[in-house]
Amino acid sequence: MDFDRITFAPRIQGGRASNPGMRIPVSSIVGQIANGATFQEVLAGYPDLEREDIQQALGYVAWLAYEQAQAGGRSSLENAHWRT
């Protein structure tokens, strides 16, 4: 999958996945969606963001989850569950 709307620049957002030129972390976009925000609400909060940016952020997170599952590792979320 091609993530042309996501960049990893060590000096921008500490190298976290973000949108090129906007400094909006993918985690912020996906977090808002996960907490019930609509695409329209996210777009209203970030006027420079486009619908395709949100879709690609979601696709990137899905790809990361798939890759982690393929690696056979437990996610930090699963590890946190086992500690409770």
Is the model more confident about 68 or about 74? 68
Say which CATH topology domain 13-83 has: Arc Repressor Mutant, subunit A (1.10.10)
The 10s digit of each residue's pLDDT in 19-68 is 888 889 999 999 999 999 999 999 999 999 999 999 999 999 999 888 88
Q: How confident is the model at residue 77 (pLDDT cuts 50, 70, 90)?
A: very low
Q: Is 38 left (phi over 0), alpha (psi -120 to 50) or beta?
A: beta
The 10s digit of each residue's pLDDT in 18-29 is 888 888 999 999
Query: pTM of the full predicted structure?
Result: 0.76
Residue 29 near residue 50 (C-beta atoms within 8 A)? no
